[in-house]
Amino acid sequence: MIIKKTVSLKEKNSFKIGGTAKYYSEPSKENEIIYCLNWAKDKDLPVFIMGKGSNVLISDQGWDGLVVNLSINFCNIIWNNKCANVLGGSQLNLICNQAVKRGLTGLEELSGIPGSVGGAVLMNAGAFNTTISDSIKSVRFYDCSVSKIDEIENVDINFGYRKSIFQNSNKVILSARLELKQDLSAQELEKVRADIIRKRNIKQPLQYPNCGSVFKRPDGNYAGALIEKCGLKGFRIGDVEISQKHANFIINRGNGTANDVREIIVKVQKTVFNEYGIVLEPEVIFVGEFEEPLF
């Protein structure tokens, strides 16, 4: 297992922002992942498990520990009728497309989400009327606190809106077992998938690097609508801008920095709170150290 030193993370996330990792690895097997985790534990280093890097903001100072990137080599999808066993680094959109071609329903509305399956499970990724938890049967993980591989059923994962038991835990998602349904034809599902992709292209600023939706949806409201009502569409610091297309997206127009993004996030939080008394909670995961505290 090769562990590299001083690796840039800028091109390894969808925002195209961030510093370097002190140490970096791309394991391909479960035992290699465990080796990396134990290696970091022996050196008392923090570990960040990375997928496709689509829902993260990496500090300009980088990560002063080990980054374990599962999206490069730890990827595989094995089908068994209506079920699929998917390694954590696998691309979510890939399994969505495969399910559609097989005429299996349950994932088509998640088409186009750029993250990994592990990240999707961690955050209970969702779109339109679907979340990945709707199709999860069980999840296999490594529990660092007891140095053991275990498996947990859906009912015990405590899925909620953009949450699961894996957040802020010592559990590393290795794979997920999904169970889908067969109540539409592949042709019908392909029409649904195409419509979902069309809506994404219309509503989201996909031509620019971004991290997806920045804020979670507050009860009884929409983050993008609140931000837009505050007149913040187009607000810009350096090369970082609140999208004119969708106010809950922050885009990088070229040479944006993590500090600029963080400053805009705090600006949005303060403005929305002053106008509506609502504190917007970030959906994006912050990796590394930031000078600007959240509101």
| 72, 89 contact by CB (below 8 A) | yes
Distance CA(184)–CA(188), nearest Å, equals: 6
Q: What length does the chain have? A: 295
For the question of residue 162 being annotated catalytic, the response is yes
For the question of residue 145 being annotated catalytic, the response is no
For the question of residue 116 being annotated catalytic, the response is no
Distance set, CA 100 to CA 180, 199, 286 (Å): 10, 18, 33
Q: Is 254 exposed, middle or buried (0-12, 13-18, 19+ CB in 10 A)?
A: exposed
Q: What angle do CA 44, 3, 167 make, to 5 degrees?
A: 55
Distance set, CA 6 to CA 21, 66, 289 (Å): 5, 10, 17
Active-site residue, selected from the candidate residues 25, 111, 213, 243:
213
Q: Is 200 exposed, middle or buried (0-12, 13-18, 19+ CB in 10 A)?
A: middle
Active-site residue, selected from the candidate residues 26, 108, 109, 283:
283
Distance CA(177)–CA(175), nearest Å, equals: 7
Distance set, CA 41 to CA 61, 62, 65, 207, 295 (Å): 22, 19, 10, 40, 32
| 98, 86 contact by CB (below 8 A) | no
Active-site residue, selected from the candidate residues 25, 90, 138, 162:
162
Kindly tell me the sign of the dihedral angle through the C-alpha atoms of 164, 166, 167, 173.
negative
Report, as residue numbers or ranges, the catalytic residues: 162, 213, 283
